[in-house]
Chain A
């Protein structure tokens, strides 16, 4: 195979931009699975829900999809809060999260997907925005704005959450709740409340990630399934709950997928992330930076 310099450089750029976007998709799971130990496999379904809401607001009111996702952010926060309440009452409190908790999230994933199919059908939907067509060119390097804008928004979201989790009281309490609940109670913080806030935040990120997704590619309800492997591969490889680790792992997966689809063809791309995940689980379950 003839690998030209231009093609190589652009595959790297495409991979990094894709990786930046994957970081936004994964950050919710890094919080729920990585920090809170809640195996929310329905997260990608909520991302697709976010995409469809951005789609509705974009086509009916002509709103920018990313702006629309910020407007509905409180709704997603409330949804996350409600889901955690049910999860806590039904499973976590009784110590049944292993079998039934997983089945619960699997059910949510399935219901969300089927409802979206019933309402919107299986046609691909897309949004209109000024930055979807053009691209920025620097010499041989090509930065499609359709990828660049989501990547930058994603990095901004990442930075904001990182600062929040490491600087504020609630943010530090969220990190603490995964380490020692009793100690947190002694600091006069209610661990259930802290977990509810953290889980609600993780679902809220799905709103933004959904808007970014529909900017990048047209979507249909079952697209979310491809992201299950991606988000968990990144989350595990990044060392469960470590935000910098998540970012590095997202970039790595983005590069891997970009090279696969450039040099082997896009029909192999879904297997890359899941193969990545299987290998990570088999050989490095603690993640790249794990102890």
Chain B
């Protein structure tokens, strides 16, 4: 399927999802759906670096928070429309990704992973000590009651996130099938051999980090309007870091469909668990599933299904 056709199919599916949510007519569907969509973007973004090149990013929450705080910054300075904020947040997060990647990507993968953990804490400390964006007290971002045409504001936020999800999936799939994607795969399989064959590994890794970080920042940009009150410990929450790793790992890391499947399964499970049990227990579920899957099913749900199909066709 060509990229153009693929985009059309996703747009059609997106339109159906939006129509169905409107048909149900309950605001909760939009609130819960927004969270699931946000996780699809985060998981897809994580996978562009983690799944395609094999470099683990533990700092998803940092990039997400960069996006969210970019919005808070502009909200206090001069409110801009959300789509514009998404673009700005993507640029800021992408630049931070390049900066950190430039410092640490020349080293072994483990060092990069540890450095991403460090980045999250350094940025959180900066935000806590930065009064303009609310400091440790947090910042209120009052969202308008309604928007023209769509009516309720949460419908608008949901639509923005839905479009962002479609863009992220199209980008991930396009990368996978392009020369860039093959370059990423060589890094994942054997970086030294790739380097020896003339693959510009550092450049490719920087590109992957920038794209991945940018999408995480974009996913964070509408968040302050969604939550209404943003404080550092919620923006930098470990839940974002662990979910954006767990979802691709559980879904499968080798193609764009894995993070999508993982995010849908885990995201919906967590929405149900939060309502029926408690939010601490649902984080425990994510952690346990992550460990079980990496030990037992290294290729995730997609890998399990592929094995089953292959066994049947024999």
Residues of A within 8 A of B (CB): 33, 39, 41, 86, 90-91, 94, 96, 98-100, 102-104, 106-108, 110-111, 113-115, 117-118, 222, 225-226, 228-229, 232-233, 236, 267-268, 270-271, 274-275, 277-278, 281-282, 285
User: Please, which residues of chain A bring their CB within 8 A of the CB of B114?
Assistant: 39, 41, 228, 232, 236, 277, 281
A to B CB contacts below 8 Å, 12 in the list: A41-B58, A41-B114, A96-B298, A99-B56, A102-B113, A104-B295, A114-B284, A270-B125, A275-B122, A278-B118, A278-B122, A281-B107
A107 pairs with B294, CB closer than 8 A: yes
Cα–Cα distance between A114 and B284 once the two chains are bound (Å): 6
User: Please, which residues of chain A bring their CB within 8 A of the CB of B117?
Assistant: 41, 228-229, 232
State whether A107 and B122 are in contact (beta carbons under 8 Å apart), knowing that A99-B50, A99-B54, A102-B113 are contacts in the complex.
no
Cα–Cα distance between A274 and B119 once the two chains are bound (Å): 7
B270 to chain A, nearest CB (A): 13
B238 pairs with A278, CB closer than 8 A: no
Contact code string B150-168 (vs A, CB < 8 Å = 1, else 0): 0000000000000000000
A117 pairs with B104, CB closer than 8 A: no
Q: Which residue of B lies closest to A275 (CB)?
A: B122
Cα–Cα distance between A232 and B110 once the two chains are bound (Å): 11
User: Please, which residues of chain B bring their CB within 8 A of the CB of A118?
Assistant: 280-281, 284
Q: Told that A113-B238, A118-B280 touch, could you supply 16 new A-B pairs with CB distance under 8 A?
A: A102-B109, A102-B113, A103-B249, A104-B294, A104-B295, A106-B58, A107-B242, A110-B242, A114-B280, A115-B284, A229-B121, A236-B111, A268-B125, A268-B129, A270-B125, A271-B122
State whether A100 and B298 are in contact (beta carbons under 8 Å apart), knowing that A41-B117, A229-B118 are contacts in the complex.
yes
Q: Which residue of B lies closest to A283 (CB)?
A: B103
User: Please, which residues of chain B bring their CB within 8 A of the CB of A236?
Assistant: 111, 114
B56 pairs with A102, CB closer than 8 A: yes
A171 to chain B, nearest CB (A): 25
Cα–Cα distance between A277 and B117 once the two chains are bound (Å): 10
Q: Which residue of B lies closest to A101 (CB)?
A: B294
Cα–Cα distance between A121 and B113 once the two chains are bound (Å): 29
Q: Considering only CB atoms and an 8 Å cut-off, how many residues of chain B contact the other chain?
A: 43
Answer yes or no: B291 CB below 8 A from chain A CBs: yes
Q: Which residue of B lies closest to A282 (CB)?
A: B103
Pick the 7 closest A-B CB pairs, nearest first.
A271-B125, A107-B291, A274-B118, A282-B103, A110-B287, A107-B290, A111-B287
User: Please, which residues of chain B bring their CB within 8 A of the CB of A90?
Assistant: 294-295
Contact code string B13-51 (vs A, CB < 8 Å = 1, else 0): 000000000000000000000000000000000000010
B109 pairs with A98, CB closer than 8 A: yes
State whether A285 and B107 are in contact (beta carbons under 8 Å apart), knowing that A98-B54, A232-B114, A271-B126 are contacts in the complex.
yes
State whether A274 and B122 are in contact (beta carbons under 8 Å apart), knowing that A100-B294, A104-B294, A114-B287 are contacts in the complex.
yes
B288 pairs with A281, CB closer than 8 A: no
B215 to chain A, nearest CB (A): 19
Answer yes or no: B185 CB below 8 A from chain A CBs: no
Cα–Cα distance between A33 and B111 once the two chains are bound (Å): 11
User: What is the interface of chain A mostly: helix, strand, loop, or mixed?
Assistant: helix
Instruction: Give the A-B pair count, Cβ closer than 8 A.
Output: 127
A277 pairs with B115, CB closer than 8 A: yes
B74 to chain A, nearest CB (A): 24
User: Please, which residues of chain A bring their CB within 8 A of the CB of B109?
Assistant: 98-99, 102
A264 to chain B, nearest CB (A): 10
A106 to chain B, nearest CB (A): 6
Answer yes or no: B128 CB below 8 A from chain A CBs: yes
B287 pairs with A107, CB closer than 8 A: yes
Cα–Cα distance between A228 and B294 once the two chains are bound (Å): 22
Answer yes or no: B216 CB below 8 A from chain A CBs: no
Answer yes or no: B283 CB below 8 A from chain A CBs: yes
* Residues of chain B in range 261-291 having any CB-CB distance to chain A below 8 Å: 280-281, 283-284, 286-288, 290-291
Cα–Cα distance between A83 and B245 once the two chains are bound (Å): 21
Cα–Cα distance between A139 and B100 once the two chains are bound (Å): 47
- Within 8 Å by CB of B104, from A110, A226, A281, lies A281
User: Please, which residues of chain B bring their CB within 8 A of the CB of A39?
Assistant: 110, 113-114
- Within 8 Å by CB of A106, from B122, B284, B290, lies B290
Cα–Cα distance between A287 and B50 once the two chains are bound (Å): 27
A110 pairs with B283, CB closer than 8 A: yes
Q: Which residue of A lies closest to B117 (CB)?
A: A228
User: Please, which residues of chain A bring their CB within 8 A of the CB of B294?
Assistant: 90-91, 100, 103-104, 107
